[in-house]
Chain A
Amino acid sequence: MGIEQKAGDLGLVTTTLEQAVNWARTSSMWPMLFGLACCAIEMMAAQASSYDMSRFGMELMRASPRQSDLMIVAGRVSRKMAPVLRNLYDQMPSPKWVIAMGDCAACGGVFNNYAVVQGVDEIVPVDVYVAGCPPRPEGLIHGIVTLHEKVKKEQIKDWA
């Protein structure tokens, strides 16, 4: 659809364009500050000096959803917080990605009860799940690198 229909299969032009755009997106993907609970502390540790996330392009964390590309849901999402989460996801401009960090965001974690949403993928579509309670900063960085590889495989027909 879109460019491919109008221009036909241009081959070399579209693949170079894909590579350029994907390279630009992965090299400076800015996460949104969405630390909820204990995983937020490990996310802060990953951002700090020992395990530096700015090496991977995430120089700063924007608090405003209008200015960020990536939402790292770090921590347990309670029933009261769920509409807020969906609202923030809707406010992010596309292209946007979601990483579910930690066991509670991935599947509800230790807490299988009335108050915790069992996995944040009930509310938003998730791209990468990072397991751990809380995951080590290296684990989060591995999740981010996996997301970068996933983005690099995106093709023009997904976003044009």
Chain B
Amino acid sequence: MTEIREVSFEEFKHLVSDRAIKGDTMLLNMGPQHPSTHGVLRLLLELDGEIVVNCIPDIGFLHTGIEKNMETKTYQKAEVMTDRLDYLNPIGNNLAYCLAVEKLCDLDVPPRAQVIRVLLAELTRMASHLIWLGTSALDLGAMSVFLYTMREREMLLDIFELCSGQRMMTTYVRPGGLWRDVPVEFVPAVEQFLKIIPAKINEYESLLHDNPLFIERTRGIGVIKADECIQWGVTGPILRAGGMAYDLRKARPYSGYEQFDFDIPTRQEGDVYARYEIRMAELRESSKIVRQALDKLPGGEIRSNNRKFIPPPRSEIGTSMEALIHHFKLWTEGFTPPVGSVYVATESPRGELGVFLESDGTPKPHRVHYHTPSFANLQIMPLLTRGHFIADVVGIIASIDIILGDADR
């Protein structure tokens, strides 16, 4: 396990062109540890001078066995592992899993919980796009944008910490609703964030939008149009930058998204610059949705009352016998959903995040499979990098916005 194994050339001879075998082109390893690969991604580049002839991605360096590990834990305990898949969108992962469990067990979610779920999902989308903006600009040379976006992201992490006690891996969205109600300081904190964020987004744009260096490095690079995206199964901002207005929040709405009014930004060029513009527009759309969610926040309960699946509040345990029995059953054995399988898809900042959940009548899931956008989107890497320079490869990886925890699971 701790020795390096020499990989023989025979194993991937079928993937590189004949020129590499003759020695005409060079095979370069853009290794797992690299400042610009956004995680542990290994790219085998076949180079003709500086131009990329072919690019073979090699993933699996962050494979954590989450799917198998979730099969050995009960449904409640397995949710903790879902945060760590796409670690920039932890609430989105929780939401996808909880929607699948709710569909499987036929649980209802109170309206207040649905609106707060939408609010937090959009705030997480903004946090993810802020980090994407910071690290992409950092890769292309603009370091100050990174420092500014991390400063705004700290405000968002403070909001998540207010609700759940944890900055990133919150596990706040639970099956049936939320873990607990938001505290009193939540609404003023979100208001404060919404007040300053439009000016900040304009500030980031002013640094990058008309910057000739940025435009030179991103216009016309890594072009993929909508019909090729559909063939390769690519969703999310890449598909929208290619020209198709497809967003799961509008196409197959979940958690009450149909009540909110927002646009789907699209561009036609399909290059790195178009994806940058789309994500900046999505930042603005998300702040619109958060504003609407804050205005229409209803009162009421925060979690469903179906005691066969949802634990009772601690205050009831001292006085009610049924509450004690339900608490005991849920904590020792867990709840048992009916036999069957569901597939639920949500829109993560990277594309379609879907959960395939199959139950066999026991308290532990029989099979949990995540359809993650980064795994699907990485397949187009050879297509996008053909004919470009090595320096463009960096920009292309940044624009696809992959998270290796998502791809490797």
Contact = CB atoms under 8 A, between A and B. Distances in A.
A45 interface: yes
Interface residues on A, range: 35 or more
Nearest to B144: A49
Interface stretch (B31-39, B102-110, B302-310, B379-387): B31-39
A50 B35 contact: no
Nearest to A62: B35
Contact of B68 (A34, A45, A113): A113
Contacts of A80: 60-61, 63
Contacts of B2: 82-83, 86, 123
Nearest to A36: B40
A70 B314 CA distance: 46
B33 A84 contact: yes
A76 B66 contact: no
A48 interface: yes
A99 to B, nearest CB: 16
Contacts of A84: 31-33, 61
Given A83-B2, A133-B169, A115 B64 contact: yes
B3 interface: yes
A69 B4 CA distance: 23
B56 to A, nearest CB: 16
Interface string B138-156: 0000000011001101100
Interface majority SS (helix, strand, loop, mixed), chain B: loop
A77 B65 CA distance: 12
B62 interface: yes
B323 interface: no
Given A42-B168, A78-B61, A48 B87 contact: no
Interface in B112-147: 131, 135, 146-147
B1 interface: yes
Interface in A107-123: 110-116, 123
Contacts of B62: 36-37, 75-76, 78, 81
A38 interface: yes
Central interface residue in B1, B40, B81, by most chain A CB within 10 Å: B40
A142 interface: no
Central interface residue in A45, A80, A82, A114, by most chain B CB within 10 Å: A80
B268 interface: no
B239 interface: no
Given A78-B64, A88-B33, A116-B64, A45 B153 contact: yes
B87 A38 contact: yes
Interface string B74-115: 000000110010011000000000000000000000000000
B69 interface: yes
A87 interface: yes
> Nearest 5 CB-CB pairs, A to B?
A48-B150, A115-B65, A38-B87, A63-B35, A113-B65
Interface of B: 1-5, 31-35, 39-40, 60-66, 68-69, 80-81, 84, 87-88, 131, 135, 146-147, 150-151, 153-154, 157, 167-169, 404-405, 408
7 contacts: A34-B33, A38-B168, A49-B150, A80-B60, A81-B62, A113-B68, A113-B69
